Amino acid sequence: MNVLIINAGSSSLKYQLFDMESEQIVAKGLAERIGIDGHLKHTPVTNGKPVFEANQPMPTHSEAIAAVLDKLTSAEYGVVSSLTEIGAVGHRVLHGGQKFSKSVLIDDAVIAAVEECIPLGPLHNPANLMGIRACQAAMPGVPQIAVFDTAFHQTMPEFAYTYAIPYKYYEKYNIRRYGFHGTSHRYVSAEAIRLLGNKPNSRVITCHCGNGASIAAVKDGKCVDTSMGLTPLEGVPMGTRSGSIDPAIIEFVANLEGLTRQEVFEVLNKKSGILGVSGVSSDFRDVEAAANDSENPLSHRAQLALDVFRYNVAKYIGSYMVTLGGADAIVFTAGLGENSPELRQSVADWLSGFGVRIDSEKNKLRGKLVDITGEGSTVKVFIIPTNEELVIARDTKAIVEG
Ligand code: ADP
């Protein structure tokens, strides 16, 4: 069976077509600038056909989906001869609120529930719904599956997801910790448990460190705590997000700078984190380069931004050792987690008092699954490349096949 994976954003739509017999990607691409001028890049992966890339009008997600399906089936760039060769579509959906603890077949009730979660995911859920509706219209009768970023974290105990604010806000508005990157935490924690020889009652701490970053505590395969909260703003600092701060800062800055709440919120989401502290960039590669360049006037701030990030990752791991009563494995994943030896070394150094050691030679490896545990370490340390799309494709196939 071929399964199409869709990750729809407000002005973009990423896709991958999987052959589920081999679990290989046969084509992938990105439709961008939807609602602006429209741009499509389509890459056939396995059959040697050429890459297609051009501007083409895409006023809405419907035209974007139409363009994608056209390329997937075209004689020149296609990988299937007709749409009947696509057995199902899996959609990444950001927020499933408290309704979804696993992936589901999309029907009218599911769409209504995703709509109800729009206040919790105001930027992403409407875009995800546009992707779903466009596919339903273009591929009637083809099963559509929703895979939620929040679902894996629904096993958190009440005391971990409850904020210490008046309880009526939870009762009236469902304000609680939800957590994100769930598909990634689920995939890499399952891989870690496999590497641990399927140890019973395993205690795994997963660090998804990309542009967005979150840490999760996973006990016996189930999430028991995670660093992101009601929204992806909470937790460790990120490329442009502040992560956790004293909430009083919001009013303080609003008053001093004459900003509205909305403007302060924008600052915390888009101008903070690594970008805000370093003044260099939100991209960790740029910040690492600036920190290593003593001629750069922002070198100190770049190093400070990295130190703040690394220290906070280590602090969360330490706190999750409390949550789990220790740890059998720590996992690094996503852009930075898979590629930055400096991040992993620094975090291991902070945790040396807990018996964490990494092998400095193996730690130089990037972007592949590897055990970097050092001699005498009481905790295993793994780099595990994440594969959220594969999880979405597997869930989609499993649901379609019942
Ligand atoms: P997202 O999916 O959240 O956009 P990614 O998981 O792709 O993010 O991670 C992007 C981040 O990973 C960027 O900040 C980038 O600088 C960092 N990154 C990617 N490759 C490297 C590398 N070789 N060294 C250091 N950081 C890297």
* Distance (Å) from CA 249 to ligand 1 centroid: 28
Query: Which pLDDT score, from 0 to 100, does residue 10 have?
Result: 85
pTM of the predicted structure, to 2 decimals = 0.95
Q: Whose CA is nearest to atom 12 of ligand 1?
A: 335
Kindly indicate the confidence band of residue 140, based on its pLDDT and cuts at 50, 70 and 90: very high
Angle CA 245–205–396, to nearest 5: 100
Q: Sign of the C-alpha dihedral, residues 288, 289, 291, 297?
A: negative
Distance separating alpha carbons of residues 399 and 376, to the nearest angstrom: 43
Crossing angle for the helix pair 299-324 and 341-350, to the nearest 10 degrees: 50
Q: Which atom number of ligand 1 is nearest to the Cα of residue 285?
A: 16
Question: For tokens 């995939």, what's the residue?
Answer: 187
Higher-pLDDT residue of 91 and 10 is 91
Across the range 132-158, mean pLDDT stands at 96
349 is catalytic: no
pLDDT over 90 at 367, yes or no: no
Beta carbons of 89 and 142 less than 8 angstroms apart? yes
Query: Which pLDDT score, from 0 to 100, does residue 123 have?
Result: 84
Kindly indicate the confidence band of residue 366, based on its pLDDT and cuts at 50, 70 and 90: confident
Which CATH number does the domain 197-383 belong to among 2.40.30.10, 3.30.420.40, 3.40.50.1970, 3.40.50.300? Answer: 3.30.420.40
Each residue of 220-275: pLDDT tens digit?
999 999 999 999 999 999 999 999 999 999 999 999 999 999 999 999 999 999 99
Query: Which pLDDT score, from 0 to 100, does residue 360 have?
Result: 97
pLDDT over 90 at 121, yes or no: no
Q: Of the residues 331, 336, 338, 345, which should be mutated to test ligand 1's pocket, given the most ligand atoms within 8 Å of the CB?
A: 336
* Distance (Å) from CA 363 to ligand 1 centroid: 17
Query: How many other C-beta atoms are found inside a 10 Å radius of the C-beta of residue 342?
Result: 16
Kindly indicate the confidence band of residue 118, based on its pLDDT and cuts at 50, 70 and 90: very high
Q: Which atom number of ligand 1 is nearest to the Cα of residue 343?
A: 25
- Angstrom CA distances, 387 to 47, 94, 186, 187, 372, stand at 22, 16, 10, 7, 20
Same fold across 2-148 and 197-383: yes
Task: Say if strands 24-32 and 39-44 run parallel, antiparallel, or are unpaired.
Answer: antiparallel
Q: Which atom number of ligand 1 is nearest to the Cα of residue 284?
A: 16
Beta carbons of 147 and 129 less than 8 angstroms apart? no
* Distance (Å) from CA 27 to ligand 1 centroid: 23
Q: Which atom number of ligand 1 is nearest to the Cα of residue 239?
A: 14
Break the chain into its structural domains and give their ranges: 2-148, 197-383
φ/ψ (deg, to 5) at 268? -70, -30
CATH 3.30.70.360 given to domain 2-148 = no
Kindly indicate the confidence band of residue 279, based on its pLDDT and cuts at 50, 70 and 90: very high
Please give the span between the terminal C-alpha atoms of the chain, in angstroms, as a whole number: 14
Beta carbons of 92 and 135 less than 8 angstroms apart? no
Q: Whose CA is nearest to atom 13 of ligand 1?
A: 283
Helix (H) or strand (E) holding 329: strand 329-333
Ligand 1 environment, Cβ below 6 A: 210-212, 239, 283-285, 288, 334-336, 339-340
Each residue of 67-113: pLDDT tens digit?
999 999 999 999 999 999 999 999 999 999 999 999 999 999 999 99
* Distance (Å) from CA 284 to ligand 1 centroid: 7
Residue 351: both structure tokens together: 């945790």
Cβ-based burial of 150 (10 A; exposed 0-12, middle 13-18, buried ≥19): buried
* Distance (Å) from CA 337 to ligand 1 centroid: 8
Q: Of the residues 149, 183, 211, 346, which should be mutated to test ligand 1's pocket, given the most ligand atoms within 8 Å of the CB?
A: 211
Marked catalytic residue, from 19, 37, 108, 149:
149
